[in-house]
């Protein structure tokens, strides 16, 4: 298990679910940026990478969109590489 995840689980006395529900790739990217910013001064880049790449990602339907748009967003979300994004946009930038 990675360092950040261990710290969070200990801090929350085991009450933690390591997953994200998002409606689009853009939402996922915003969340990853936010989490990265939260931890960048306290943990190593490797620890942050391990933490971000270990999230379970679930699609959350956006009721304001059409079925076709939701299906497109879901497909794009599950095809998105969190690891590539984290390494290219967050860690190595």
**Where in the chain are the domains?**
28-91
CA 11/CA 44 separation, integer angstroms: 19
Sign, Cα dihedral of 85, 86, 87, 93: positive
| pLDDT score, position 1 | 62
Residues of the chain where predicted confidence (pLDDT) is lower than 70: 1
**Dihedral of the CA atoms 56, 79, 33, 13 (nearest 10)?**
0
| pLDDT score, position 14 | 83
| pLDDT score, position 15 | 87
| pLDDT score, position 18 | 92
CA 19/CA 56 separation, integer angstroms: 4
Contacts of 92 (CB under 8 A, 6+ apart): none
């Amino acid at each position: 298990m990675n360092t950040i995840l261990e710290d969070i689980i200990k801090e929350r006395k085991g009450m933690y679910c390591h997953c994200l529900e998002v409606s689009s790739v853009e939402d996922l990217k915003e969340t990853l940026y936010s989490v990265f910013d939260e931890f960048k001064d306290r943990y190593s880049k490797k620890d942050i990478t391990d933490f971000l790449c270990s999230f379970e990602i679930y699609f959350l339907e956006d009721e304001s969109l059409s079925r076709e748009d939701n299906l497109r967003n879901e497909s794009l979300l599950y095809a998105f590489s969190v690891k590539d994004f984290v390494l290219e946009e967050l860690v190595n930038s």
